[in-house]
């Protein structure tokens, strides 16, 4: 089925007075979920992360029922090196351990997995700065990240010591978050959040208004950034808003979701980009002013693991492994383009691991850049044009799911992208659902009229 769309491609390049292109680039990788138990020699299922699910098509580079084998991890990092060997920096937004019960891991195993992934990145990118955020699977027990200093925070801080400035280490040990001047450049800043503190599965922070004082801290950092005329990137693992593949499914507790939205609205003038993971899917989220103007975009990068989610209500939530390059204006931090690369897992297991460019945002959706205004236009095209909707839907699973995104599917994706606010999301779902009723009633009425006319 051909879902190609006719797009107007904008060729936008920025040059300095000397004629040099002012574009920087960085990698974003997330949700590697290495499963050390993966082995084709295992009897029955080849990995613990599949649970009881069969894996008859498992191969060297993995299976859609499993988390990543080491061959996939190794292939991924080497592909990054081959595609863009000298990025300005790397963003790594966590979730490193497999989807297995807590009793099958333990603190030592969690730290060993994070350590091995850290080492392979350091080995292939020895001179590259890595800004790394913890995921909800980067703790034992999983998702229960505390708002106080603890052994795991301390030991991960030591693993990442070469990447962390001395000023970052204290807040990381105390709460798993930090801020630094981006690339040590005046006017640029990055904020690395421990958004797992807001996760609705985190029982440790259930009755705390501001876990680890992170909201207060972030507000202060962003206030100072405005005074110092800085531009800011925010990264984290668990995103706010709703999951586009399961209606009404939020990740943050409602009160934390509201606080995060208010933080972005208050400081959007200095926040140039937000980069998160957790979904394993490829999507984005829009933030609007009280008057409806697009003020910020959050990019959700697809995961490396192909693991098919077991979340109830999601029918076939697997994905092909994906990695992403962001191109940005190195004077303003504006995201100019997004280039996603992927591995067709089925082909890799049959023939060879072939990492390919899946799409370039500006080409695929006909926008000049990846600014909030442009991403708003991308959303409008997805909402209003079935061709763009279908294109987005294929990208959402990194070209794993090529089925048709029907009317209900469209509502789930459009409302999740458009409305981070829970109440607004519910109104969007209700409004979009109601819009389906009128055409349906009209078509039924037309059919009845034709039937009655034929009977005469």
Each residue's pLDDT expressed in tens, for the chain with a length of 456 residues: 455 676 554 444 444 333 355 799 999 999 999 999 999 988 788 999 999 899 999 999 999 999 999 999 999 999 999 999 999 999 999 999 999 999 999 999 999 999 999 999 999 999 999 999 999 999 999 999 999 999 999 999 999 999 999 989 999 999 999 999 999 999 999 999 999 999 999 999 999 999 999 999 999 999 999 999 999 999 999 999 999 999 999 999 999 999 999 999 999 999 999 999 999 999 999 999 999 999 999 999 999 999 999 999 998 999 999 999 999 999 999 999 999 999 999 999 999 999 999 999 999 999 999 999 999 999 999 999 999 999 999 999 999 999 999 999 999 999 999 999 999 999 999 999 998 754 544 444 444 544 444 444
Quick one: DSSP state of residue 26? E
Q: Is 439 left (phi over 0), alpha (psi -120 to 50) or beta?
A: alpha
| Long-range CB contacts (within 8 A, 24+) of 246-249 | 246/311, 246/313, 246/314, 246/412, 247/313, 247/411, 247/412, 247/429, 248/426, 248/429, 249/311, 249/313
CA angle 6, 298, 378 (to 5 degrees): 15
The pLDDT of residue 7: 55
**Is 77 buried (19+), middle (13-18) or exposed (0-12) by CB count in 10 A?**
buried
Say if strands 271-276 and 294-300 run parallel, antiparallel, or are unpaired.
parallel
The pLDDT of residue 6: 66
The pLDDT of residue 2: 53
pTM: 0.93
Beta-bridged to residue 357, according to DSSP, are 341
Query: Do 321 and 345 form a contact (C-beta atoms < 8 A)?
Result: yes
Using omega within 30 degrees of 0 as the cis cutoff, is the peptide bond preceding 167 cis?
A: no
Q: What are the boundaries of each domain within the chain?
A: 23-403
The pLDDT of residue 22: 78
Pick the CATH number of 23-403 from 3.30.470.30, 3.40.50.10860, 3.60.21.10, 3.30.430.20: 3.60.21.10
């Amino acid at each position: 089925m051909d879902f190609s769309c006719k797009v107007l491609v904008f060729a936008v390049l920025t040059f300095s007075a000397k004629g040099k292109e002012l574009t920087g680039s960085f990698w974003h990788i997330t949700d590697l979920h290495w499963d050390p138990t993966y082995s084709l020699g295992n009897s029955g299922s080849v990995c613990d992360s599949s649970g009881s699910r069969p894996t008859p098509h498992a191969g060297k580079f993995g299976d859609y029922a499993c988390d990543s084998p080491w061959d996939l991890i190794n292939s991924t990092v080497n592909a990054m090196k081959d595609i863009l060997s000298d990025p300005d920096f790397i963003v790594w937004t966590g979730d490193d351990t497999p989807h297995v019960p807590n009793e099958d891991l333990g603190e030592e195993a969690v730290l060993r997995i994070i350590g091995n992934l850290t080492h392979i990145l350091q080995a292939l990118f020895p001179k590259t700065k890595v800004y790394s955020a913890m995921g909800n699977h980067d703790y034992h027990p999983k998702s229960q990240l505390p708002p106080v200093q603890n052994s795991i925070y301390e030991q991960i801080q030591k693993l990442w010591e070469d990447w962390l400035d001395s000023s970052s280490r204290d807040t990381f040990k105390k709460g798993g978050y930090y801020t630094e001047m981006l690339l040590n450049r005046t006017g640029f800043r990055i904020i690395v959040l421990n958004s797992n503190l807001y996760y609705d599965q985190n029982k440790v922070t259930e009755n705390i208004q501001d876990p680890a004082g992170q909201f207060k801290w972030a507000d202060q950092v962003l206030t100072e950034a405005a005074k110092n005329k800085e531009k800011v990137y925010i990264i984290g693992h668990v995103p706010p808003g709703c999951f586009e593949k399961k209606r009404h499914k939020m990740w943050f507790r409602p009160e934390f979701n509201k606080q995060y939205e208010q933080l972005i609205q208050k400081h959007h003038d200095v926040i140039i980009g937000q980069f998160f993971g957790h979904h394993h899917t490829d999507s984005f989220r829009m933030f609007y002013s009280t008057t409806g103007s697009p003020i910020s975009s959050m990019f959700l990068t697809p995961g490396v693991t192909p693991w098919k989610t077991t979340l109830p209500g999601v029918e076939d939530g697997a994905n092909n492994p994906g990695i992403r390059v962001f191109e940005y204006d190195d004077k303003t931090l504006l995201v100019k383009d997004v280039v996603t690369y992927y591995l067709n897992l089925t082909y890799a297991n049959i023939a060879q691991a072939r990492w390919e460019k899946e799409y370039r945002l500006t080409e695929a959706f006909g926008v000049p850049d990846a600014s909030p205004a442009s991403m708003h236009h991308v959303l409008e095209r997805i909402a209003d044009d079935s061709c763009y909707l279908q294109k987005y839907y294929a990208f959402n699973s990194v070209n794993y799911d090529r089925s048709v995104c029907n009317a209900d599917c469209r509502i789930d994706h459009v409302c999740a992208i458009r409305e981070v606010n829970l109440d607004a999301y519910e109104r969007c779902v209700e409004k979009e659902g109601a819009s389906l009723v009128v055409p349906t009633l009209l078509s039924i009425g037309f059919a009845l009229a034709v039937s009655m006319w034929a009977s005469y």
